[in-house]
A and B are shown apart, each in its own frame.
Chain A
């Protein structure tokens, strides 16, 4: 068992890729995930016991809840974990049905890449299903890269022509949505072709799905972005005050000049600790404890930022409404950005995104479950004016309903107003 050291190091240092899957049972999405887990050799014997080559059995692996198995549909996001020698993966498996758009949004918020599954046998004349267009639109709104798994190729005799038609159709969609980094791969989840092992088409010389996932980069690193560190809490010992939080963008180091909170109080960081030990630098994604060179009035919700940071009371944002209770004009919601919570109003709806024909519907006065709209939001306190595209960690916000405590909207800042 001396060999233990090797796999440990390989696993502990491996790349991690977070991806979500979109598509319905009809497209073979659950079958595709089952196949991925089975052929990557990560399914445990007891979990794989009931599996033959049967499609339903593969799909049943991913339906976690009783109600889901009873109805044969996926209701909620399920998280799954597997690894290959080259990367470790977290799958956020989201249901595909229209009424579960909110779950796709939830899954997208913790993913770098979306795998969109299309049933090739049901695409006629290159016309993609409305559902596929919706999945692509949400991936674009939430800034994900996209891998298109053109599934059930075995049912159309691996027709290269029909694959190319679908690819062309998707590239058109991607163009309309400003979606970059789209790749397509022909697969048969049922037979396992081009999922992990190659097979099916002799004309396909591109990568398999697992290779595409292993290579996935996701959006560019935030290491070079300006520092953003929302404060979670203040801890103290006899002589010192430590402000703790996670670096959401950029990096933090001792001696650095920063500004704190919307008043932009200048401060110098005197120490940075990770896990109780002093470090010379901590990058995005790291939970840290910092000290300032002198006493500061800093509280949860304040952000430690690089000089030049901008704040605003009003922002233009895309929001996806996630609550069964529709938005009510004039109602105050609790907005959470970073660790700040403040009251906020949606002042007006600029337009509603039609996520199937990509048009913009003006003059809307209501927002209900699964609607995605461009809105103007005004907050009681100043919030960071970061755009989602520049700084996803701080350019995003959530709205909570203070009367029901429900999470009712996901927001992505597009521009600051004032």
Chain B
């Protein structure tokens, strides 16, 4: 893959009008992601993890491009913690209808009822998604789960493969990962095992926003500035919702905010921003001084290895 990313200034100047150079960064990233998605053509039952969040919206857009004029050969799978923002769920359902891809939703609530998930103070519904995800993987015998995780998000993800093998227990074994050479992905799995595939591995948060602008990709409204009731605590803004009411003594403020990630309501915080368009969000992203997950995710703040431990259990 190495030379796929050579950039030649001359090509920019001398290229014919309609000629495509693997030159600009977004073209290179798109070509790499399309190549990865097309490597899934041989899988029998692949599913694309689609939450309605911005990374999965970009992933779905790329999947449709990669397989045009055919329909993308993926089912959409969402693991619903029961704590999602209604705007995001509505967007999820809309995109599924628009693309004609079958959407499967599995609820953490059902896993709790079955007794496979026990929640506790330390264990948020977000972490519990791993159990429900693996149950869905087994129910539908998915042999590949395609996720929008990026290596720039978090230190355990920085070590993730593009084609990341999961054993029959769905576990990630970070110390026994298969070497990944050039673009020669090892797609082989044994009975009951599956592959996690991350086509956006080499994208950064800024790349995602630049691509959203270039391709005019729609997102849930929460990603853009809106007024919301929040409580300030530990340098974070906690949204006040029916699920997360303010404590009696807490000072509730109305603040213009946007979300950088839209996960579980109980552990996702917005940031103060008046960025009302993707262009403005990108401009802020380029000068941001706090990382995406550090700014917004309580679950990753708990412990430096929080993400790694969740991933080992089967989290995406």
Where the two chains meet, the residues of A that have a C-beta atom closer than 8 Å to any C-beta of B are 1, 3-5, 7-8, 11-16, 18, 44-47, 63-67, 69, 75-81, 88, 90, 102-103, 105-106, 109-112, 218-219, 221-223, 232-233, 235-237, 240, 242, 244-249, 274-276, 278-287, 289, 300, 322, 334, 336-337, 392-393, 396-398, 400, 402, 405-407, 410
B138 on interface, CB distance cutoff 8 Å = no
Contact of A81 with B41 in the complex, beta carbons under 8 Å: no
A80 vs B195: C-alpha distance when bound (angstroms): 23
User: Taking the nearest CB of chain A, how far is it from the CB of B117, in angstroms?
Assistant: 24
Find out whether the CB atom of B202 lies under 8 angstroms from the CB atom of A90: yes
Q: Is there contact, CB below 8 Å, between A5 and B182? A: no
Q: Any chain A CB within 8 A of the CB of B253?
A: no
A7-B283, A279-B19, A398-B184 are contacts. A103–B179 as well, Cβ < 8 Å?
yes
Least distance between A42 CB and chain B CB atoms (Å): 10
Q: Are B6 and A110 in contact (CB under 8 A)?
A: no
What separation, in Å, do the CA atoms of A276 and B61 have in the docked complex?
12
A392 touches B31 (CB 8 A): no
Pair B3/A221 contact, Cβ less than 8 Å: yes
Tell me whether B289 is interfacial, beta carbon within 8 Å. yes
B156 at the interface (CB under 8 A from A): yes
CB distance from A309 to the nearest CB of B (A): 18
Of the residues B204, B286, B304, contact of A7 by C-beta under 8 Å: B286
Nearest CB of B to A318, in Å: 13
Q: How far is the CB of A54 from chain B (nearest CB, A)?
A: 17
Known: A75-B175, A280-B19. A396 touches B181 (CB 8 A): yes
In the docked arrangement, what's the CA distance between A72 and B308, Å?
Answer: 17
What is the CB-to-nearest-CB distance from B275 to chain A, in angstroms, rounded to a whole number? 7
Q: How far is the CA of A156 from the CA of B208 in the complex (A)?
A: 45
Given contacts A232-B38, A279-B19, contact A15 B7 (CB under 8 A): yes
What is the CA–CA distance of A67 and B308 in the complex, to the nearest angstrom? 10
What are 6 residue pairs bridging A and B, where the CB atoms are less than 8 Å apart in the complex? A11-B210, A44-B288, A44-B291, A46-B295, A245-B35, A275-B65
Whether B20 lies near A279 (C-beta < 8 A) is yes
- Asked whether B171 is an interface residue with its Cβ less than 8 Å from the other chain, the reply is no
| CB-contact partner of B31 in A4, A78, A276, A286, under 8 A | A286
CB pair B174–A65 under 8 Å, yes or no, is: yes
Stretch from B10-18, B82-90, B100-108, B242-250 at the A interface: B10-18
User: Quick check: B182 and A398 within 8 Å, CB to CB?
Assistant: yes
Identify the interface centre among B4, B25, B30, B67: most chain A CB within 10 Å of its CB.
Answer: B4
What B residues does A396 contact at CB under 8 A?
181-182, 184
- Residues of chain A with a CB closer than 8 A to B182's CB: 109-110, 392-393, 396, 398
Inter-chain CA distance A334–B214, complex, in Å, is 40
Q: How far is the CA of A300 from the CA of B34 in the complex (A)?
A: 16
> Is the beta-carbon distance between B5 and A18 smaller than 8 angstroms?
yes
Known: A279-B18, A286-B20. 16 other contacts (CB 8 A): A12-B25, A16-B28, A44-B294, A64-B156, A67-B174, A69-B304, A78-B155, A105-B181, A218-B6, A281-B16, A284-B3, A284-B22, A393-B1, A397-B184, A402-B188, A407-B178
In the bound complex, do residue B283 and residue A322 qualify as a contact, i.e. CB atoms below 8 Å apart?
no
**Is B27 touching A284 in the complex (CB atoms < 8 A)?**
no
A216 to B156, CA, bound (A): 29
- A13 contact from B3, B25, B207, Cβ within 8 A: B25
Instruction: Give the interface SS of chain A, mostly helix, strand, loop or mixed.
Output: mixed
Report chain A residues within 8 Å CB of B26.
Answer: 12
Q: How far is the CA of A326 from the CA of B151 in the complex (A)?
A: 31
Taking the complex as formed, is B168 at the interface, i.e. its CB lies under 8 A from any CB of chain A? no
Interchain CB contact (< 8 A) of B186 among A102, A240, A285, A398: A398
B2 touches A218 (CB 8 A): yes
> What chain A residues lie within 8 Å of B39 (beta carbons)?
232
In the bound complex, what is the Cα–Cα distance between A65 and B308 (angstroms)? 7
The answer to whether A285 and B5 touch (CB under 8 A), given A16-B28, A276-B65, is yes
Q: Which of B119-171 contact A (CB under 8 A)?
A: 151-152, 155-156, 158-159, 165
Q: How many angstroms from the CA of A329 to the CA of B233 in the assembled complex? A: 64
Distance from B208 Cβ to chain A, minimum over Cβ atoms (Å): 12
How many angstroms from the CA of A67 to the CA of B173 in the assembled complex? 12
Tell whether, in the assembled complex, residue A283 and residue B65 are in contact, meaning their CB atoms are under 8 Å apart. Answer: no
State whether the Cβ of B98 lies closer than 8 Å to any Cβ in chain A.
Answer: no
Q: Which residues of B contact A102 (CB under 8 A)?
A: 179
Within 8 Å of chain A (Cβ to Cβ): is B282? yes
Closest 5 CB pairs of A and B: A285-B22, A46-B294, A4-B283, A285-B4, A233-B41
Task: Judge whether B241 is part of the interface by a CB distance below 8 angstroms.
Answer: no
State the CA gap A1–B67 with chains docked (Å): 36
- Given A233-B38, A280-B19, A287-B66, check contact A1 B279 (CB 8 Å): yes
Q: How far is the CB of A391 from chain B (nearest CB, A)?
A: 9
B18 to A, closest residue via Cβ: A280
Contact A111 B179 (CB under 8 A): no
The answer, among A8, A69, A111, A406, for a CB contact under 8 Å with B178, is A406
For residue B308, which residues in chain A have a CB less than 8 angstroms away from its CB? Answer: 64-66
Taken together as a complex, chains A and B put the C-alpha atoms of A415 and B29 apart, in Å, by: 32
A76 (CB) vs chain B CBs: closest residue: B159
Known: A285-B22, A286-B31, A393-B182. A8 touches B155 (CB 8 A): no
A46 contacts B291, CB within 8 Å? yes
CA distance A69 to B156 in the complex (A): 12
| Residues of chain A lying within 8 A (CB to CB) of residue B21 | 283, 286
- Chain B, 210-230, contact with A by CB distance < 8 Å: what is the 0/1 string? 100110000000000000000
Q: Contact between A76 and B5 (Cβ–Cβ < 8 Å)?
A: no
Q: How far is the CA of A381 from the CA of B304 in the complex (A)?
A: 49
Contact B25 A410 (CB under 8 A): no
